[in-house]
Amino acid sequence: MIKNFLWAGMTALSLMVMAGCGLVKSMGEDPKGDELARLDTLPNYKNGSFENLAEKANSSAKHNRWLFLRRRPASIRPASPLPWIKTDLRTLAEPAPTVVWFGHSSLLIKTGQGNILIDPVFSNHAGPVPGLVTAFPGTGHYHAKDMPTIDVLIISHDHYDHLDYRTLIKLKDKIKMAVVPMGVGEDLIYWGFDPKRIIELNWNQSTTLNSGLRITATPAQHRSNRTYGQDNKTLWASYVIQAGNYRLFYGGDGGYGAYFKKIGLQYGPFDLALLECGQYSPNWPWTHLWFGQAAQAAVDLHASLLQPIHWGKFVEADQPWNEPIKTLLPAAEKLGIQVNVPRIGEPYTLGNPPDKVDWWDSE
């Protein structure tokens, strides 16, 4: 364990050196020049970094720097490949929005107003170089080449498990427009995206695409960074997606807070809320939803249906891999929230009965 920790430390140091030398393109580029000057005028950007709406929840909780010494449960990764469904993503045609989950927080949403791709990570790892955070077996069957034309790419924030360089450079020519939080556009431009096809939004700003899709960036309680020591140089966001008469909410990453109720009152009710339910830790008690909190957030949002994300692909904390869903379901039942839990690649169309096959217990 000590050896692994020391290796991780040396790897981090090596990455910092390589980033400074510009050798790791996947690490992206922080805002600079005119872009940085623009950020400095924003009300939620102070003293060189973005800030959350409120004080950090549970800010009195002590950071346990020795968590790495604890023995992780054997069940932190699935014992066998996860089940998945082979779907032709180019032929999805439904009168209502159809959602396809690829594990963790990667989603394709087919609507009458166009295809939406959210936080795609298809490179089988989450990190600046392969091998740092590897995906579960069974989760790597979908690739950039399987995607249809993307009318809009939505990115929630710049962490590697949501903003994946290797995936995006393969998708670049398929993407018509990208909607990202303030500052994240700098990464895309650095990777060769046309600045004219990038829309940056601050919280509670909206854009309406030519197809009629309306996308609004809303607050989240989180953080950002792609290099050590460069925290919160870009914004993080959740999103309200209006497609015809349907309203969907994508939470991205974010701890529980009063902002869920505010979003529900201002933009709800929602036909579907896509909310994280995994990778919580006592070391970051305020930046991710904890046990059952996704269910309460769905209530706050006035959502008719909840689909959990941010689980089922990567190990980023110390819980058994399927603990998040086993904890969420009874909490949702207690609050009267319907939950949809599809397998990877399994399409779900709004209005249909939720998927209830407990595939996470039969892996």
Closest by Cα among 110, 195, 203, 208 to 157: 203
d(CA 197, CA 207): 13
Domains belonging to the chain, first-starting first, are 94-361 (3.60.15.10)
Share of the chain above pLDDT 90, in %: 80
pLDDT tens by residue, 272-330: 999 999 999 888 889 999 988 999 999 999 999 999 999 999 999 989 999 999 999 99
Angle formed by the axes of helices 293-301 and 259-267, nearest 10°:
30
- Can the peptide bond before residue 130 be classed as cis, meaning omega within 30 degrees of 0? no
What mean pLDDT comes out for the span 229-250?
95
Distances (CA, A) of 99 to 40, 108, 129, 174, 348: 37, 6, 29, 19, 5
**What is the structure's pLDDT at 55?**
60
Closest by Cα among 276, 226, 214 to 251: 276
Closest by Cα among 95, 96, 55, 27 to 234: 27
Q: What is the DSSP string of 110-121?
A: EETTEEEEES--
Helices and strands (H, E) in the chain, number of each type = 7, 16
What mean pLDDT comes out for the span 201-226?
97
pLDDT tens by residue, 46-88: 999 999 998 654 444 455 555 544 567 889 999 999 999 999 9
User: Would you place residue 16 in the very low, low, confident or very high pLDDT band (cuts 50, 70, 90)?
Assistant: very low
Supply the mean pLDDT for the chain.
Answer: 89
pLDDT tens by residue, 165-197: 999 999 999 999 999 999 999 999 999 999 999
Residue 7: burial class (beta carbons within 10 Å; 0-12, 13-18, 19+): exposed
Closest by Cα among 133, 120, 98 to 170: 120
Closest by Cα among 109, 154, 78, 144 to 313: 78
